[in-house]
Amino acid sequence: MASLKNLLLLLTASLTSVQAQAPGENHLISRRKLSKRFIDENGNYNISFYHLNDVHAHLDEFSSSGTDCTRPERGCFGGYARIKTVLQETRPSHPDSLLLNAGDEFQGTMFFSYYGGEKIAQTLNEIGFDAMTLGNHEFDKGDDHLGEFLSNLTFPIVSANIQSSHPVLNKTIKPFHIFEEYQLAVIGVTTETTPGISSPGPDTKFSDPIEAVQNTIDFIRSTTNIKRIAALTHIGYEEDQRLAQETTGLHLIMGGHSHTPLGNFTGAVGPYPTLVDNKAGEEVFIVTAYRWGEYLGYIDVTYDSEGRILEYHGAPIHLTNTTEQEPGLQAEIDAWRKPFEEYAAEEVGYTTVELDQSLCQLGECLLGDFMADAMLEYRLNSSSVDFALINAGGIRATIDAGPITRGEVLTAFPFGNSIVEITVTGKQLWDTFAGILTKVNPRNGKPVTSFFQISKNIIVEYVPKKNSTAATAEGELVSVSIGGEPLDLEKEYKVVTLDFIAGGGDNFFYPTFGNLITLDTQDQVLLGYIERLSPVEYALDRRIKTISKCRRKWVERERKKRAAEKKKRGL
């Protein structure tokens, strides 16, 4: 009795002193440390997970397209100040909880292009993450910059398939972390494709994530009593499902990389959680939270005594203007914006010609050629792609002749869209271009909402529609040639495009492409191209050609002739 009384006194004293320093969460943590975790008579145990992925430097709220929130009356989303509010309001009623980050905090807004990882590190520490795995984009500025970022973080960094002899990375990255108080291990993994899509140093190696996770599970199970094992992954939703299927001992996967919307809302591509059976026929729960921090992933699970999940409850929390922004953090974020104006005024190159946007919806335009060529050249550096394709609607402003500023590039391409590579058949490409020109996608019968622009190495010819009053060019597709050869309907082509297009944007493609690997953002790629080319001298080269009906007849006769010859040869 006496000892219980002492304990209560101690508890009260400690609570009072902690409360005096800081309200809210700290109070709860101190109580948790003193109380025994609740496990019922069957050995069941409850814990909550909050998880985020692919925030891509969206420290502040953003508009639905991902750009700065300049028109709040149209709705703005996300931002770490909102996440902080949700955590402050809900975490105290979840005695045992973890807040985990599945990677790709880097690249996507000026908070990264101006500050590198510095303000991101500060924000993540302030939000109080319990662990993070690395995304491919964390390597965008190389190992040294990543090392500096990681050494500033105040929580563990986990990735079981990264081996690095870089002195800082070697010390800061570990395969897993054990949360002793919850008797739970979190194993990290990062996409094995990172060297091809980002810039890790030669001494940083990535191995097969599935093998790395299974080896780590086996190690944990053979050296500790831990049975609750979760994976924090940056390998994409499809690979997460394969990871679930091909391992044993893992029952929860919190993922990122593919920007997959899961949940019960419009546009979601799967359930939250997605259940997949593992090698032993046991259920594995897979969750991920879309991208940019528009949703905060949240799931409560009940573990049985063997570390399997018996029950769950939860759904991703949508962060809209109905959630207040925590004022302290928001004030910091606002202050960090101050130098952006000066940064935007910096000259990044020079152009002798006006890079025109005004004609992009009506036919080939100079800024369209320029951007698509930049994307093609960028991707040709590490892949054998055929051409680049973008939507005219994503090109927002002309870049005037004279000095080019960073701000002009960002104004012309404000969306922070990322470059992706897709593989498509000639038939699909034909349908795509034909659909753009008739403004109806033949594969789903729905409107196509933009004209296109393309890179070198492809020529598209069409007969324009007479007397069209449409805001974008219309016509009938006549021919497509790639690398000087007529489009082969059976062949597969590699196309560089934007995550927006590949995800069904403007209805260019149907069906769309899942599990995309996002590369650098469009503005970054264009800045690099300008730096290499400056002074820019560019001219239209008729890669998008309007032709007459006579010419169409000739093209069609030639095509038939070729087809007949091919058939004859085949016989």
Ligand X SMILES: *[C@@H]1O[C@H](CO)[C@@H](O)[C@H](O)[C@H]1NC(C)=O
Eight-class DSSP state of 394? G
Contact 190, 150 (CB under 8 A): no
Contact 324, 58 (CB under 8 A): no
| Binding of ligand X by 170 (CB under 6 A) | yes
Contact 361, 450 (CB under 8 A): yes
**288/479 with CB nearer ligand X:** 288
How far apart, in whole angstroms, are the C-alpha atoms of residue 15 and residue 9? 10
Of 97, 60, 269, 277, the closest CA to residue 184 belongs to 97
Stretch that binds ligand X, among 1-9, 54-62, 376-384, 500-508 (CB under 6 A): 376-384
| Min CB(390)–ligand X separation in Å | 17
Helix ranges, 91-236 (H): 110-115, 118-127, 142-152, 167-172, 194-197, 209-223
Looking up tokens 């800061």 gives 172
Q: Which of 16, 19, 38, 427 binds ligand X (CB under 6 A)?
A: 38
The pairing of strands 347-351 and 309-314 is unpaired
How far apart, in whole angstroms, are the C-alpha atoms of residue 128 and residue 88? 11
- Number of alpha helices (DSSP H) and beta strands (DSSP E) in the chain: 18, 26
Stretch that binds ligand X, among 16-24, 41-49, 393-401, 411-419 (CB under 6 A): 41-49
| Binding of ligand X by 164 (CB under 6 A) | yes
Binding mask 290-329 for ligand X (x = CB under 6 A): ------------x-----------------xx--------
> Cα angle vertex 202, ends 198, 206, to 5°?
65
State whether residue 56 is helix, strand or coil: coil
CB atoms within 10 A of CB 345: 11
Q: Which of 66, 103, 108, 117 binds ligand X (CB under 6 A)?
A: 117
Stretch that binds ligand X, among 39-47, 176-184, 341-349, 507-515 (CB under 6 A): 39-47
Q: Which of 340, 378, 493, 509 binds ligand X (CB under 6 A)?
A: 378
Q: Taking CB positions, which residue lies at the least distance from ligand X? A: 75
Q: Which of 26, 40, 541, 557 binds ligand X (CB under 6 A)?
A: 40
| Min CB(124)–ligand X separation in Å | 10
| Min CB(225)–ligand X separation in Å | 18
**38/554 with CB nearer ligand X:** 38
Stretch that binds ligand X, among 97-105, 165-173, 184-192, 357-365 (CB under 6 A): 165-173
Of 390, 437, 387, the closest CA to residue 413 belongs to 390
**122/248 with CB nearer ligand X:** 122
| Binding of ligand X by 207 (CB under 6 A) | no
Question: Which residues of the shown chain bind ligand X in the complex (CB under 6 A)?
Answer: 38-40, 44-46, 72-73, 75, 116-118, 121, 148-149, 152, 163-165, 170, 173, 264, 302, 320-321, 377-378, 381, 466-467, 528
